[in-house]
Amino acid sequence: MSTEQLPNDLREVLARLAVRNAMRTEATLQADVRQLLLSGDFNLGDQDLSVDLETQVGDGRRIDVEVGCTVIEVKKDLRGAAVLTAATKQLAGYVAERVQQTGQQYVGILTDGVDWRAYHLRDQALSEVAKFTHKATRGLDLLFWLEGVLATQTHITPTPPEIRKRLGADSSSHQLDKAALAALYDEYGELPTVKFKRGLWARLLRTAFGAQFHDKDELFIEHTLLVNSAEIIAHLVMDVDVTTLQPATILLGHRFDRARLYGVVESDFFDWVIEVPGGESFVKALSRRLSRFDWSDVEHDVLKVLYESIISTDTRRKLGEYYTPDWLAERVVSENVIDPLNQRVLDPSCGSGTFLFHAARRYLHAADSAGMSLREALRGLTDHVVGIDLHPVAVALARVTYLLAIGRERLLGDRGTIHVPVYLGDSVQWQQRVDLLSEGHLTIKTGTAGQVYENELRFPEELLAGARSFDDLVNSLADAASNPNRPMHSVPSLTPLLNRLAIPERYRPQIVENFRILCALVDNNENHIWSYYIRNQARPMWLSRAENRANVLVGNPPWVSYRKMSQDLQSTFKEMSQDRGLWQGGKVASHQDLSSLFIARAVQQYLTEGGTFAFVVPNAVLDRPYFSGFREGRYEDPGEPVTVAFTGSWDLRRLRPHFFPRGSGVVMGRRNGSDSPVPLPRATERWTGSIPPGLNTWSAVSEHISRTPAELAIAGEGLIDSPYRSKFENGATIYPRKLFFVDTPEGEDSLGLGGGRTAVRSSPVTMGQDGYWKQHAPLEGVVETEFIQQVMLSECVLPYRLLPPRKAVLPLEGRTILHGEHPHMDRYPDLADWWRGAEAAWEARPQATAMTLVERLNFFKGLTNQLPGTTLRVVYVKSGTYVSAALIESPDLIIETSLYWGTVHSREEGMYLCAILNTPALTELVRPLMSYGKDERHVDKYVWELPIPLFDSQNPVHARLAELGSAEAERVAAMELDESKAFTRLRPLVRKELSLSPHAMELDLIVSELLD
């Protein structure tokens, strides 16, 4: 709906509010605000949800507008600082009074019709948490903003757009809830119980992600909000009126325990909220907001939408979290889970539970078709569809998604006891631990960061075989240890409990010792989470036993490239990859990705021999050289060698729009019992099409997708390489650019600088690519003019034409690169000052490596290999959807790493290569070899996997190409281009001109025939 589609009376009110009118009184403005609330579809007007004007507070004070738990103060104009300050103070008094009277969490709003500000009360003062500026054309947006504050609508369908709009990070709902939670944490974060749970949370994520995990209060607060939300939604799925429950009952899952629905909501890292003053009011307010939605019949994983709407893209990218579209997960499951009633399906990186949702639905459909009773079907489901994830938030969301998959109707039927099988665990096992299950026992250390205990909890492995009975045992021990009637430092008898659970006599001494340790933890205020922690560590290890492994693995493993990992994680990743034959060194090392190691480890630990797998992966897994070890299918693991037989792949990179930040694919195979692996076939299934927004099911999406047989062009494995491959190399890595690239301002020094010296400062046009160097202060000074070099970057190259080069300070003395300790450096005092300042900045960077600035500058000899420069060189851009190449006819230009370059013997040879490289036919031929992001990119040396022959002036075809290339170069040179414009605007202009050339068709035909 648009603003124009709103009822006339509502549009008129919105129009009046959007204009500050000096003739308007506060009374008329109050009346308009009230009319807006009553006619704006906020579910108001009943006796319980009335909109009141001028309600009494006491002492003669009156609230302008009051509705539910919201107080609104109206002013004619809030633009003056004094007016705003006075109004805020006045509103604070009203909100504080209502909080004291009701014990509820109240929200305050200040408005003059145009300016709308929402406030949270903290320490008797208001803190602004959300703001909206109303315009007549944005009337609908104001309604959404207000509804998020009021939380009064009901029966909202939780579709992805509604979730993002009403609960996402930009919504007023989220901003208010996050502010309230942050205030609680700021005040009570140092309490022992809160610190303890936060410590376990941090330890778990640090184990998984190393320095990629940033232990920040804000992330812990966001995770708490997400998990608390998921736990409330779990109750709403079961049609429980959360507004009538005590907050502790909600977050500890008491109603689920009573209903024998275990493993859904339980004590975890994030229930600290109910242990601090004010936490109950927060949970009640959050429950009210989430109760607006109808969670009874959900057809897909909506909780991943909630997660992605709150956690920033940057944070998710660092942790490799890219959630799969429902329609793709649905198809992966339907084509790979062939016999759902007899196959155990495991997602070892289940995230919010998308694959689990569709695997569960598939199992239940098969159970219905087989005539199974509801009780039998649900018992079978929880044994056949299982999830693991290392992220505690993901686990909480996935458990609720599992309930959504079962559906309210089944859950309220004659179902028996259910244990939701979604566990917190490390599927990669970064520590490659064997100590958790050793000598017939599960061992859990009870120490946390800063508090290390010698005690260990040890459970006989035999007790783990029954998931339900083991969970009952652990829960009962934790409950008995936490019993408030147990005297401090006492350990009551466990005999009645052990008899009830039928624990064998030989195991009882160890169980009693575990109970003693749990009691000690309770007495030390560190009890609350151990039942959760023990059970989640136990089940993944139990599933890794050969007799318990899955028949099918599905999912989307974490995508974290090597260059984005922390140093510690890089070291472990490299070691584990080398052990399994997955590591590729050299220049491609930084492109390797965690996904391949994750799959190899998951197959090793969780897949039975003959079992199958299907994983969503970065498209590079299908055809990039740095995944060649993975595609071979033999992983020589030190503990248990693994071989797989790949059965096929789906190439999804040509679907639009991309549903991940980079192109994707799916690889499928089985765990091979023999010693002979079957490499990934070149034959693939290519998916193409454009998917309209808002489609979530396979039946809807499949109409827009074409699936055709195709061949993978495996980069680096071309049958006929061009002889030019060895003649071209990458340019110099002039990084960080802010320490090298400069402007040379003129006329700023009235005293002059003397001969041979130039004033320089870091160029804003060529700042470093990452956030640290963007924020770094620019360098400024004077250098000897001979050290200012002309540098060609990718942005300087158009098809057949060069734009002006950039200037950079490079410490080159002939073929020698000077550095701070070089004996010749002090011959050049100005350069020495500049260079030593640059070196100091380099050494002071965070996460510094041992590489010096000179080593970085001459990485892989990219600089010295160019010295001395040759007169004729062809350059082409490293990245881009289209290949762009030009001829350099100067020995003095330095070529940067965004370009590849090669020396040619004559201008004719240069024009021959430019004609081939700039022709659309060449781009189409090399496109399948190029790696994908959102589109094809990184031409690199893949162009030389095409059979481009060495130039032969006696060959008439070669000579004609050189002639045509020269003609096209003259055509482009004659174009009147504004070279101050960005290259991204100029290249399309040049390509359009070339497409109109009379030689365009002939060039395309010759190149196509030459390379066929």
CA 757 – CA 776 distance, rounded (Å): 25
Out of 116-120, 414-418, 931-935, pick the least confident.
931-935
Amino acid, single-letter form, for residue 9: D
- Nearest Cα to Cα of residue 588 among 940, 948, 167: 940
What's the whole-number mean pLDDT along residues 116-140? Answer: 85
What's the whole-number mean pLDDT along residues 940-953? Answer: 88
What's residue 340's pLDDT?
Answer: 96
- Residue with more model confidence, 526 or 741: 741
CA angle, corner 502, sides to 500 and 503, nearest 5?
120
What values do phi and psi take at 980, rounded to 5? -80, -15
What's residue 571's pLDDT?
Answer: 82
Please compute, for residue 252, the number of CA atoms within 13 A of its CA located in the half-sphere on the CB side.
16
Q: What share of the chain in percent tops pLDDT 70?
A: 89
What's residue 917's pLDDT?
Answer: 96
pLDDT digits (tens, 9 = 90+) for 187-201: 999 998 898 888 878
937-to-99, 300, 877 alpha-carbon distances in Å: 57, 33, 10
Task: Give me the residues paired with residue 132 across strands.
Answer: 116
Give the CA dihedral 496, 497, 499, 504, nearest 10 degrees: -140
Q: Does residue 466 contact residue 539 with C-beta atoms inside 8 Å?
A: no
Q: What are the helix (H) ranges across 168-252?
A: 172-188, 192-209, 217-237, 247-251
pLDDT digits (tens, 9 = 90+) for 569-607: 788 888 888 888 888 876 666 778 889 999 999 999 899
Pairing of strands 642-656, 683-690: parallel
What's residue 3's pLDDT?
Answer: 64
449-to-202, 204, 364, 446, 521 alpha-carbon distances in Å: 9, 11, 43, 10, 15
pLDDT digits (tens, 9 = 90+) for 949-960: 999 999 999 999
pLDDT digits (tens, 9 = 90+) for 876-913: 999 887 899 999 999 999 999 999 999 999 999 999 99
Q: Does residue 872 contact residue 903 with C-beta atoms inside 8 Å?
A: yes
Fill in the DSSP letter of residue 218.
H
What's residue 430's pLDDT?
Answer: 62
Q: How far is CA 683 from the centre of its chain?
A: 31
CA 211 – CA 221 distance, rounded (Å): 19
Q: Does residue 720 contact residue 785 with C-beta atoms inside 8 Å?
A: no
3-state secondary structure of 805: coil
Cα R_g (the chain), whole angstroms: 33
pLDDT digits (tens, 9 = 90+) for 972-987: 999 999 998 989 899 9
What's the whole-number mean pLDDT along residues 258-283? Answer: 88
pTM score, two decimals?
Answer: 0.70
Pairing of strands 61-67, 51-58: antiparallel
Tokens encoding 651 = 């190439």
Out of 239-248, 664-673, 827-836, 924-933, pick the least confident.
924-933
CA 934 – CA 658 distance, rounded (Å): 6
Q: Does residue 388 contact residue 350 with C-beta atoms inside 8 Å?
A: yes
Pairing of strands 607-618, 437-438: unpaired
pLDDT digits (tens, 9 = 90+) for 468-480: 677 778 878 877 8
What's residue 453's pLDDT?
Answer: 41
- Nearest Cα to Cα of residue 103 among 276, 284, 272, 248: 284
What's the whole-number mean pLDDT along residues 538-543? Answer: 75
**Burial group, residue 320, by CB count within 10 angstroms (0-12, 13-18, 19+):** buried
pLDDT digits (tens, 9 = 90+) for 153-179: 788 888 888 888 888 888 888 888 888
CA 553 – CA 933 distance, rounded (Å): 26
What's residue 788's pLDDT?
Answer: 94
- Residue with more model confidence, 1002 or 636: 1002
What values do phi and psi take at 460, rounded to 5? -55, 135
Out of 94-103, 356-365, 978-987, 1001-1010, pick the least confident.
94-103
CA 540 – CA 549 distance, rounded (Å): 10
Beta strands in 679-747 (DSSP E): 683-690, 706-711, 728-730, 741-743
What's the whole-number mean pLDDT along residues 488-513? Answer: 86
In the block, which residue shows the tokens 């906020």?
42
Pairing of strands 385-389, 422-424: parallel
What's residue 434's pLDDT?
Answer: 45
Torsion over CA: 590, 595, 596, 598 (sign):
positive
Fill in the DSSP letter of residue 561.
B
Pairing of strands 345-347, 550-555: parallel
What values do phi and psi take at 134, rounded to 5? -85, 135
Write b or e for each residue in 864-886: b if 16 or more Cβ atoms lie within 10 A of its Cβ, otherwise e. eebeeeeebbbbbbbebebbbbb
Delineate the domains of the chain, giving CATH numbers in brackets: 3-151 (3.90.1570.30), 181-424 (no CATH), 437-548 (no CATH), 557-711 (no CATH), 726-1011 (no CATH)
What's residue 992's pLDDT?
Answer: 94
pLDDT digits (tens, 9 = 90+) for 673-704: 777 899 999 999 999 999 998 888 999 999 99
Fill in the DSSP letter of residue 874.
E
* Chain mean pLDDT for the chain: 85
Q: What are the helix (H) ranges across 678-783?
A: 698-701, 771-775
pLDDT digits (tens, 9 = 90+) for 452-462: 345 778 888 77
What's residue 670's pLDDT?
Answer: 96
**Cβ-proximal residues to 426 (8 Å cutoff; 6+ apart), any chain:** 207, 208, 390, 540
Position 328 pLDDT exceeds 70: yes
What's residue 156's pLDDT?
Answer: 84
Position 435 pLDDT exceeds 80: no
What's residue 448's pLDDT?
Answer: 44
pLDDT confidence band for 767 (50 / 70 / 90): very low
Q: What share of the chain in percent tops pLDDT 90?
A: 37
Give Dmax (Cα) for the chain: 104
Position 775 pLDDT exceeds 60: yes
CA 962 – CA 954 distance, rounded (Å): 12
Q: Does residue 598 contact residue 349 with C-beta atoms inside 8 Å?
A: yes
What's residue 849's pLDDT?
Answer: 67
Position 742 pLDDT exceeds 90: yes
